[in-house]
A and B are shown apart, each in its own frame.
Chain A
Amino acid sequence: MSTWVGARAIGSGPGRRGRAAVVGVRELSREGLEGVEFSVRQVTGMPGALVVDVAGEVDSSSAEQFRERLVSLIGGDTKHLIVNLADLTYINSSGLGALVAGCKRVRALDGTLKVCGVRRSIAEVMQLIRLDKIIEVHDTEEQALAAL
């Protein structure tokens, strides 16, 4: 069952860096994968766009579930994803591959996948292995939403 949480201020807590200052959000689902919390929000006034919050560690025990869950969101009315990684502490190559798989899927629908809030170490390694050529990275959720 989904829950309306309406317009709210977020971004004040230390683990919430990268979130938009004030957005209208509707939490659609929240679930725990192996070591990862995965929640989905709908952004009011932006049909076809979802924000996905990923917290914890994406490693070999959770990467496949993460990929399936992420890709399953795309399609139907949804072709734009903002993946907020502000509370992500680690992601392995399969997890990064899941983001790439999501990218491929939205592009096939003429949509976009943007990542935001990612910690500097992960962003720098994404640059190093040239993932920034495929996945658009924004500092904050607000910036990512504005770029839709």
Chain B
Amino acid sequence: MTVAVTDSAGMQCELTLPCVPGSCRKARLLAAEVCKDAGLSPTSEYRVLLAVDELCQNVVQHAYGGPNPGASFGVAFAARIGSVEVTVSDRGRGFDPDEALSAEETAHEGVDSLMHLEHRGLSLVASLMDSRSIESAVGGGTTVRVHLGRRPGDR
């Protein structure tokens, strides 16, 4: 389900998706539309798409212990010209953000970390976007919010 609102504050839309792999592509397609409406350059758009894909993959793989068509998660976009904010939220099992980030960093350090892109999702998202915040608690679901602002080449 998609809800889209455009007003003086910009454009906002929200998608509720089942926790299955195919949902990542749906979120990515909507992200592409939002980025185009916000006038992002192709490079900024690709950064957002990769981040959305990564965050949705995290939900599908980890939030409910694997794909679960009976569970859902939300992807919300808030955009204005040259800027996009994405919020991905679930009500899954949650995690300790500090522990997860620390585990990502120490598992693959330096150049070796580049060899394991798929195991450093949160770090990758941080390097793609201007800001990233994580609210999560074990058993309490997770909300990750990321933002990318204006870059050279954006409208």
Interface residues of A (CB under 8 A from B): 59-61, 90, 92-94, 96-97, 100-101, 104, 119-122, 124-125, 128-131, 133-134
Contact = CB atoms under 8 A, between A and B. Distances in A.
Contacts of A121: 41-43, 45-46
Chain B, interface SS category: helix
B53 A93 contact: yes
Interface in B97-126: 111, 114-118, 121, 124
Nearest to B124: A93
B121 A61 contact: no
Interface string B52-71: 01100100100000000000
A126 B131 CA distance: 19
10 contacts: A92-B57, A93-B121, A94-B118, A97-B118, A104-B115, A120-B42, A125-B47, A125-B50, A125-B128, A129-B127
Interface in B44-95: 45-47, 49-50, 53-54, 57, 60
Contact of B116 (A60, A97, A133): A97
B21 interface: yes
Nearest to A127: B43
Contacts of A128: 47, 127-128
Contacts of B53: 59-60, 92-93
Given A97-B118, A129-B124, A120 B43 contact: yes
Given A93-B53, A124-B46, 7 more contacts: A59-B25, A59-B28, A60-B24, A93-B54, A121-B43, A125-B43, A128-B47
A33 to B, nearest CB: 15
Contact of A124 (B21, B25, B43, B111): B43
A93 B25 contact: no
- Max count, chain B CB within 10 A of own CB: residue among A59, A92, A119, A120: A92
- Max count, chain B CB within 10 A of own CB: residue among A101, A128, A129, A133: A129
